[in-house]
Structure 1
Amino acid sequence: MSWTDPTGKRIRRGIGHKSKVNRRTAKARRLELQISLNENRGQQGSARSPWVMWSERYLVNRTAELMPKTIAMHHQVVRLLTENAYRSHELVMALTPARANDVVASWRTLVGPATVAKWVRIAKTVFTHALNEGEVLMNPFAHISGAEPTPAQRERHVTIEDVTKVTQYLLEQKPKTAAGWEGFKTRAGVALMVQLGYWTGMRTGECRHTAGILIHGHQELDEDRYILYPRGEYETTKQKQRVIRIEPTLRLWWKQHGKYLQTMGKKPSNPYRVVKDAMEVVDVEPFTFADLRRTRDVIWHQTYPSHVCNVWLGHSERVAQKHYLSVSEEHYS
């Protein structure tokens, strides 16, 4: 069995005859050897940094590289590791895979599984940097899955009738008191989000961001395309500038309601709850903004080439096949 440590040195250890040791046993023994080497190097007084000092330097170095919201999450995970994983003045290498398991178990008592998965991914990134700098011989979170739990696939295809019912209800429910106008303005903004989600396939955050831009009159939906700029001018794997097709039906809807929304609407807040309440009132089967995006992807793929649809929607062919393309009831009729 052999592996390369962060200094580039090739380490070889015998663990028995190949025919008598399976892959799982070999992996477990390699992990034990790495932990033992970690402890030995710490006892020998090799130049290693205490966790507190190293983590502060890590956050300073990454601040210029990451978006503000992302670096804020890194600060949060580092603080959690400092509180739950390290004793005072311990070196970075002191965190073992077993202790990392205990840390993640404690996180599961605080937050939901999706947040835990996000924290695990950030912890892996932190210790990958520590590994590259030679502070540790292995990533203690490497064996823990950072994938978010996926619920049972709900391939809900939203019809134009469902969208019309929801948006009409959101726009027609006038408040009876002066205090109710703020809620009405929010509902008007959410109605625009639903229309954008159905006709353009934008992600939830993109719908909310675009609705705010349109309501404040910074852009219009009067052409056959719309340039979507990333929020905060930061480009990520999901938030990139792209040109989206604007369907004639959406342009007509905006022409009818645009001036009204610019006068009465505001950038939506808490759109999930507003849409959920509206669907219960108008008796529509519940759907999410991801369902709206999936529906648009399927509709466009029936008319346009795949590479064109993927450019409009801002994802790859692999992502479209895995998450969005599915069979609707209309395919059977």
Structure 2
Amino acid sequence: MASLSAEIHVCNDGTRTTTYRVLFVDQSGRRQTIRLGSVSKKIAETTKCRVEEILAARFSGTSIQPETASWLTAIADVIHEKFAKVGLVEPRQTVKAAREASPPLGEIVERYIASRSKLKPNTLRNYETTKRLLNEHFGEARLVRSIHAGHAKDYREWLVGKYASATVAREIKRARQFFEYAKDCRAIEENPFLKVKAGSQKNTRRKQFVGQDVIEEVLAACPDNDWRLAVVLARYAGLRIPSELEKLTWSDIDWAGQRFTVRVKKKEHLDGHETRVVPIFPEIEPYLRQAFDDAPPGTIHVLPRRFHNEGYVYAGVLRAVERAGVKAWPKLLVNMRASRETELMQAHPAHVVHAWLGNSAEVAADHYLMLTDSDFDRAASPDLPAHYPAHSGASRGLLAPSPGKQTAVSPAFPRDTAVQIPPRGVEPRFSS
């Protein structure tokens, strides 16, 4: 199907060189020539064999052999261009053209992150984690156009072998975002992660109800009132720590109305969700008043600036937990907020609790609400009310303060073990 032609040339100095040509007839019947120049006979014969394999595949309508495909990938641009000119292969893109047509994965991820100019610090850290995982699995230099649906499924399986199901779901959803951006930039035609099942982001194994008796022990182990206030704002006001703690100022406290305004950093970009109003629950008030009395004149923030750092707050609360001799619970700060929402749902309408805590019914059911031992105790004992009684206007909290020294311990929550509630309860599903 192809033949090899050798030509001997005599140079001016009398030396001889041999050049080779590969001759063949293409599918249209035209004679074609590939001039190889002065190469070894072995290289010339190998090239002739590759030409024959490509021609055979073209005539039979089949794919070329993997070895030939690898050979075409490895040959120099000048030889590949000769093959392209005679119609044996498609022209090879230059490196620059290839990058423009399909940028490397690392570049497209960087561009996506840079395009999100208003990312919160936590969100940015999460995106950096996704970037690291994608680069670790695929390689930073991998062209995004070369990543297909099968590769995306392989990536998910790789994550499954390393992380919990909730983490896998979160990473797949973020990867889908990155590749959707690549599609918007016309770097790819289809999002390879579009049909990859992310799974659920629920992680019920890390849910744990933190009882008020446990919190009392932790409060007793705190070094000062600032730390006690940070703990009660997380456990009894359900604040997100530290993002909602760092923006809390004394001007936000309405002593007369027994409530305070929380600036919701997480949702400040959503109209109508920038702030929410939370009651000054009886469990909070004594610590809040002491902080107010102790604050120097002109103080703006309720807690010092050092409490605006998540690592600092987490480490400090953990130290108090350890000093109290209490076993540290998972999701140290989040489970305090979740425990408060679980309590409040027993005594107040769902829409009120969601307004106070700043989340939706669906988010609360998936990530916060828990079934506690106290729920079973009330159901099984005729001496306990079926649910918590309504509060008078004077109490304005889940628990009315007792005369004299106030305490945050509630006899209604004597134990702190918890199990997951069903995904849907009696409350209707709605978004806040």
Q: Which of the five TM-score ranges fits, normalised by the shorter chain?
A: 0.5 to 0.7
Report how far residue 94 of structure 1 moved: 0.9
1:85 aligns with 2:129: no
1:325 aligns with 2:369: yes
For the Cα contact (< 8 Å) 1:189–1:261, is it kept in 2?
no
Where do residues 56-135 of structure 1 align in structure 2 (5 Å cutoff)?
Answer: 58-59=111-112, 62-64=115-117, 66-67=119-120, 70=123, 74=127, 77-78=130-131, 81=134, 85=138, 91-101=143-153, 118-135=170-187
Report how far residue 303 of structure 1 moved: 2.6
For the structure 1 residues 252 and 57, does the alpha-carbon distance in structure 2 shift closer, same or farther, using more than 3 Å as the test? closer
- Paired with 2:130 and 2:144, the residues of 1 have a C-alpha distance of 15
- Paired with 2:134 and 2:128, the residues of 1 have a C-alpha distance of 10
Which of 45, 50, 56 is the equivalent residue of 2:102? 50
Paired position in structure 1 for 2:258: 224
Structure 1 unaligned runs (5+)?
Answer: 1-42, 173-187
CA deviation map 1:57-96 (0-9, x unaligned):
94387234644664565466457646753685x6532112
For the Cα contact (< 8 Å) 2:264–2:274, is it kept in 1?
yes
For the structure 1 residues 317 and 255, does the alpha-carbon distance in structure 2 shift closer, same or farther, using more than 3 Å as the test? same
Paired position in structure 1 for 2:37: none
CA RMSD of aligned residues (A): 4.2
Paired position in structure 1 for 2:286: 252
Tell which has more relative contact order, 1 or 2 (C-alpha 8 A, sep 6+).
1
For the structure 1 residues 169 and 120, does the alpha-carbon distance in structure 2 shift closer, same or farther, using more than 3 Å as the test? same
- Paired with 1:323 and 1:83, the residues of 2 have a C-alpha distance of 29
For the Cα contact (< 8 Å) 2:219–2:231, is it kept in 1?
yes
Residue 246 of structure 2 aligns to a residue in which SS?
helix
- Work out the number of aligned pairs and report it: 269
Larger mean Cα displacement after TM superposition, 249-258 or 146-155: 146-155
Paired position in structure 1 for 2:357: 313
Paired position in structure 2 for 1:277: 319
- Paired with 1:153 and 1:72, the residues of 2 have a C-alpha distance of 21
TM-score between the two structures when normalised by the length of structure 1 = 0.62
Which of 306, 314, 327 is the equivalent residue of 1:267? 306
- Paired with 2:370 and 2:351, the residues of 1 have a C-alpha distance of 17
Identity %: 21
- Paired with 1:279 and 1:67, the residues of 2 have a C-alpha distance of 29
Paired position in structure 1 for 2:345: 301
Residue 205 of structure 2 aligns to a residue in which SS?
coil
Paired position in structure 2 for 1:19: none
| Matched residue type, 2:233 | L
For the Cα contact (< 8 Å) 1:93–1:135, is it kept in 2?
yes
Paired position in structure 2 for 1:38: none
- Paired with 2:288 and 2:140, the residues of 1 have a C-alpha distance of 59
Report how far residue 136 of structure 1 moved: 2.8
| Matched residue type, 2:361 | E
For the Cα contact (< 8 Å) 1:158–1:291, is it kept in 2?
no
Residue 277 of structure 2 aligns to a residue in which SS?
strand
CA deviation map 1:17-67 (0-9, x unaligned):
xxxxxxxxxxxxxxxxxxxxxxxxxx7989972224972794387234644
Point out the structure with the larger strand share. Answer: 2
Structure 2 unaligned runs (5+)?
Answer: 1-89, 379-432
Point out the structure with the larger helix share. Answer: 1
| Matched residue type, 1:150 | N
Larger mean Cα displacement after TM superposition, 59-68 or 121-130: 59-68
Paired position in structure 2 for 1:34: none
